[in-house]
Structure 1
């Protein structure tokens, strides 16, 4: 269960901080909503307590998990399909899971692919979106500036050698 002050990832929207709880009367029921301030966007979302577990909301990464992600990003990927349609479908499915490791796979694989061939327009956008979400979560998790985190991730990705 989440509580006020928690740093959370909310896959459809990004990462944020639980700012408060609000009780609202909906019909004959009183429902508790959590207000989550989404970082990097001028918005907050209200999420009913009853759907927290099924909404995909989860705590942001721990410092140990961030280090695992950095190590993972430095690995040479295997099994990247040469067929655009296959790659695209796999990447869309990975992003939809809301899992940070799946997001890291998209970032790593698309970055690696640029070493041999330029990405299509849609793959560039997908990379940028996934890169942004990954950077935001790591920055919030570590309490660091997002520019610093982006620089670190780019450096890691640049150092991955071609096969």
Structure 2
């Protein structure tokens, strides 16, 4: 269960802080919502309290999970398809899961692939989106600037050597 002040990840929208609880009238009945202020976006969203469990909202990563994630990013990926359509479909499916390790897989694989061959426009956009979401969550969790986390992630990804 989430509470006011919690730092949370909401996969479709990014990361934020639970700012408060509000009660509103919807369709003639009273509904309780959590207000989540999204980081990096000048907006907040309302999530009905009764749907929080099924919405995919989760606590941001712990320091231990972040260290595991950095280690994962530093590994050489295996089985990256040479076929653009196959890679694209796999990456789209990974992003839809909302799972942070799937997000990291997209970042790691596309970064590695870019060392062999320039990414297509859609792969560049996909990489940028996944990279930013990952960096924002890590930054919120650690209480550090997003820019600093992006620099650290770029350094890790640069150091992955071709097999």
Give the TM bin, normalised by the shorter chain.
over 0.9
Unaligned runs of 5+ in 2: none
* Separation in structure 2 between the aligned mates of residue 123 and residue 141 of structure 1, nearest angstrom: 27
Matches within 5 A, 1:60-99: 60-99=60-99
Deviations 1:81-122 (A, max 9, x none): 000000000000000111110000000000000111000000
Name 1:44's counterpart in structure 2.
44
* Separation in structure 2 between the aligned mates of residue 153 and residue 36 of structure 1, nearest angstrom: 26
* Separation in structure 1 between the aligned mates of residue 84 and residue 12 of structure 2, nearest angstrom: 24
* Separation in structure 1 between the aligned mates of residue 27 and residue 155 of structure 2, nearest angstrom: 53
1:12 aligns with 2:1: no
In the TM superposition, residue 28 of structure 1 has moved relative to its aligned partner by 4.5
Aligned length: 163
1:142 aligns with 2:142: yes
* Separation in structure 1 between the aligned mates of residue 45 and residue 103 of structure 2, nearest angstrom: 22
* Separation in structure 1 between the aligned mates of residue 27 and residue 47 of structure 2, nearest angstrom: 17
* Separation in structure 1 between the aligned mates of residue 28 and residue 118 of structure 2, nearest angstrom: 57
**DSSP 3-state at the match of 1:54:** helix
Unaligned runs of 5+ in 1: none
Deviations 1:17-48 (A, max 9, x none): 00000012224532110000001011000000
* Separation in structure 2 between the aligned mates of residue 27 and residue 80 of structure 1, nearest angstrom: 49
* Separation in structure 2 between the aligned mates of residue 18 and residue 108 of structure 1, nearest angstrom: 30
Name 1:133's counterpart in structure 2.
133
Name 1:105's counterpart in structure 2.
105
Name 1:155's counterpart in structure 2.
155
RMSD over aligned Cα, in angstroms? 0.8
Instruction: Output the TM-score relative to the length of structure 2.
Output: 0.98
**DSSP 3-state at the match of 2:18:** strand
Deviates further, 65-74 or 28-37:
28-37
